[in-house]
Amino acid sequence: MELEQIKGIGEATAKKLKKQKIASPSELLETFPAKYEDKRIAEFIDAQIGVEITLEGTIQADASVFFIRRRLTKLEFSLNISNVVFKVVIFNREFLASSLKQGNKVVISGKFTHNFGVFTASDVVLAKNFHEGIIPIYQVEGLSSKQFHNLVKSALPEYLNNVKEDLPDFIKQRNNLMDKKSFMKIVHLPKTREDTLTAAYRIKYREFLDFALMIEGYRKLNLRVFKTPKKYDITRVREFIGSLPFALSDDQKLATNEIFGDLKSGHPMNRLLQGEVGSGKTIVAILAILAVCTAGYQVAVMAPTEILAWQNHREIKHYLERLKIRAAVLTGSTGRQDRVSILERLQSGEIDVLVGTHALIQSDLDFHSLGLVVIDEHHRFGVKQRQILRRKGQTPDVLLMTATPIPRTLAITLFRDMEISTIRMLPRGRQPIETKIVEYQDLDQVFAFSKKEIDKGRQAYFIVPLISESDTRTQLSLEEFKKEIEHSCLGNYQIGYLHGRQKSQEKEDVLERFYQNEVQILVSTTVVEVGVNVPNATIMVILSANGFGLSQLHQLRGRIGRGFEKGYCYLVSDPNLDGPKRIEILEKETDGFQISLQDLRLRGPGEVFGDEQTGIMRFKMANLILDEEILKRALEDAKWVLEANDQLAKKLVHDAFQKIDSYILD
């Protein structure tokens, strides 16, 4: 049976499906729901603040529509449930107004966010059109969940007649899993909540088993790799540490010792250095760079943005230039003549440390003797990009760095083949940043407070999610916000604008003026998330904050409070987006480890660290935090499967090892 033979799949729909790598009926049916919604009408007495609920009531008066800003409208009406009247608000549904008339019965889904007087709805439907039951929710780009479910229902009967088992019997018995045919039926057509739990368990277990098999396979491969231990000059390193204007923290000392132990080892270092924003990871990396250079090797330092590359180059030069360590920087905007000179000096060994962006992985770039690769914010690079840089040396040591820290036990699970070094301590004298969630309508108050801080000589960041207006996204753009801020009480100050489409020189000029306080307000996209250090900045305002991940918001917040003055962060909530409740943790929590853990709990590692390209498998339903017990079981079972003399087990291992080329936890 071909995809196009399924009822409801024409040429246009088939094209959309194939774009999502769904090219056959089996691939269609192996696309499982991301979650289930239990659409059942509850009693008003069961409602809780902040908890999703579905209620039925009668409209008291015709709905009204209010215009807030471009692409943002608010529809309001009063609802009566058992003589309790409250206001219902739903955003960007102005087209519903004609149906929401006094006396009509409606079913609303959503939550009471602050009190029982106002209900923020995610869905409103006339009672006569509402259908109760368990609804599978699919996430397939280009098709609504309902459309996709209808296609699945059309294809399911014939598929069930020919379904083949894909898990060995001993695995099903150990985990009390149902057979594939029964599973395929209930996963798409659940009748009870128990059905959804049973189906979800098998999906999560299978995702984790594939994950575990790939990790085990790569770990075995890593044990076969050897290198020449590096004989660095420990005396020069100790003299350098003694010359620093500050003492290393205990965490920094421990991380340094772990890295130096790897440098002396006969196996190449594969270590992740993780730490809080501003915790001092850079100086630890500089110590490793110095050691490798004293051993006669070169170092490559790769960063995801030109801003971070220049910041790293500035730091390395500041500390190591006096020790005759020769550093250069290479980015996509480096002039042709300068680039030719850098490549020649690199190949001859006249450059000890080359800092750069993706420009470091160009095919015509060759090192004389590459001994260490340092990759900053490593999850922003694809697996292939990291591999290309590593292959420019003979099994070089690799140090990956991230400011998105996670607890050690979870890090070991995620990066099982990698050693982990963690820096938790922050420099002395840092004050906690005060964080507050505000509504878009309260922006004038934020402007007024920012003005007071700027009048004291401080500086401010305003972060916008988009560069220009979008037909598909509702968030505020830099273009729109530029008009708004320039007509506010901040309009008389020097305002700089920064985004990824600017030329390198323009970006450098804006940042330099901000560094020098010639610009008091920097309006920027997230290009300042890493690599920008302005201790005088005390205000951070993030527009449409609930559209960002918690870890990214924490990173952005880390741009302020880097001096000795108190920092203030305002998270401006966008009613078009989900998640105002989700970001409330940032009002209370300043520990990056806890924030990252919560982010992983909510979004999964694929969203936090990047997708499969970055080396971490994107799970469709499984969650490393919430489903920890299932993960443990799968990790144990993977060892059994690797040793089993069973055809289905051998196929599982073969399929997992086939993916190792494109899935490497390096």
**Three-class DSSP labels, 217-265:** HHHHHHCCCCCCCCCCCHHHHHHHHHHCCCCCCHHHHHHHHHHHHHHHC
Percent of the chain with pLDDT over 90: 51
Average pLDDT over residues 166-181: 93
CATH of 41-129, one of 2.130.10.10, 3.30.1490.20, 2.40.110.10, 2.40.50.140: 2.40.50.140
pLDDT, residue 146, reads 86
Average pLDDT over residues 544-551: 88
Q: To 10 degrees, what angle do helices 250-264 and 281-294 make?
A: 30
Average pLDDT over residues 63-86: 89
Average pLDDT over residues 15-34: 90
Distance CA 621, CA 627 (A): 10
For residue 614, pLDDT beyond 50:
no
Average pLDDT over residues 387-407: 86
- Left, alpha or beta for 49 (phi > 0: left; psi -120 to 50: alpha)? beta
Average pLDDT over residues 608-623: 62
Range with lowest mean pLDDT among 205-219, 295-309, 379-393: 379-393
Helix, strand, or coil (residue 270): strand
Per-domain residue ranges of the chain: 41-129, 234-265+279-402, 434-589
pLDDT band at 641 (very low <50, low <70, confident <90, very high): very high
Distance CA 241, CA 282 (A): 14
pTM: 0.70
Tokens standing for residue 259: 């890295």
With a CB cutoff of 8 Å and minimum separation 6, the contacts of 11 are 4
Average pLDDT over residues 496-507: 88
pLDDT band at 540 (very low <50, low <70, confident <90, very high): very high
pLDDT, residue 408, reads 65
Name the H helices within 86-179: 145-161, 169-175
pLDDT, residue 562, reads 82
Fold designation for 434-589: Rossmann fold (3.40.50)
With a CB cutoff of 8 Å and minimum separation 6, the contacts of 269 are 259, 262, 263, 397, 398, 399, 419
For residue 564, pLDDT beyond 90:
no
For residue 666, pLDDT beyond 60:
no
pLDDT, residue 474, reads 64
Closest CA to 662 of 619, 607, 620, 615: 615
Tokens standing for residue 115: 């009190």
pLDDT band at 280 (very low <50, low <70, confident <90, very high): confident
**What average pLDDT does the structure give for the chain?**
88
pLDDT, residue 611, reads 45
pLDDT band at 654 (very low <50, low <70, confident <90, very high): confident
pLDDT band at 427 (very low <50, low <70, confident <90, very high): low
Range with lowest mean pLDDT among 276-285, 414-423, 476-485, 641-650: 414-423
For residue 60, pLDDT beyond 70:
yes
State the DSSP code for 325: -
- Left, alpha or beta for 185 (phi > 0: left; psi -120 to 50: alpha)? alpha
pLDDT band at 598 (very low <50, low <70, confident <90, very high): confident
Q: Indicate if 434-589 has the same CATH topology as 234-265+279-402.
A: yes
pLDDT in tens, 1-13: 678 888 889 888 9
Amino acid at 282: T
pLDDT band at 665 (very low <50, low <70, confident <90, very high): very low
* Contact predicate 490/447, CB 8 Å: yes
Closest CA to 525 of 607, 574, 446, 462: 462
pLDDT band at 175 (very low <50, low <70, confident <90, very high): very high
Helix, strand, or coil (residue 95): helix
pLDDT, residue 382, reads 67
For residue 226, pLDDT beyond 50:
yes
pLDDT, residue 307, reads 86
Average pLDDT over residues 573-585: 76
pLDDT band at 594 (very low <50, low <70, confident <90, very high): confident
Other beta carbons within 10 angstroms of residue 473's beta carbon come to: 15
pLDDT, residue 52, reads 87
Of the two residues 477 and 204, the one the predictor is more confident about is 204
* Contact predicate 353/297, CB 8 Å: no
Amino acid at 196: T
Q: Is 226 exposed, middle or buried (0-12, 13-18, 19+ CB in 10 A)?
A: exposed
Other beta carbons within 10 angstroms of residue 544's beta carbon come to: 23
pLDDT in tens, 76-96: 999 999 899 999 999 888 999
φ, ψ of residue 13 to 5 degrees: the values are -65, -40
pLDDT band at 396 (very low <50, low <70, confident <90, very high): very high
Cα distances (Å, whole numbers) of residue 69 to 63, 95, 440, 445: 19, 17, 10, 17
Cα 526 versus chain centre, distance: 13
Of the two residues 554 and 428, the one the predictor is more confident about is 554
Three-point CA angle 238, 241, 243, nearest 5°: 110
Fold designation for 234-265+279-402: Rossmann fold (3.40.50)
pLDDT, residue 224, reads 76
pLDDT, residue 436, reads 95
Longest dimension (CA), the chain: 85
φ, ψ of residue 356 to 5 degrees: the values are -175, -175
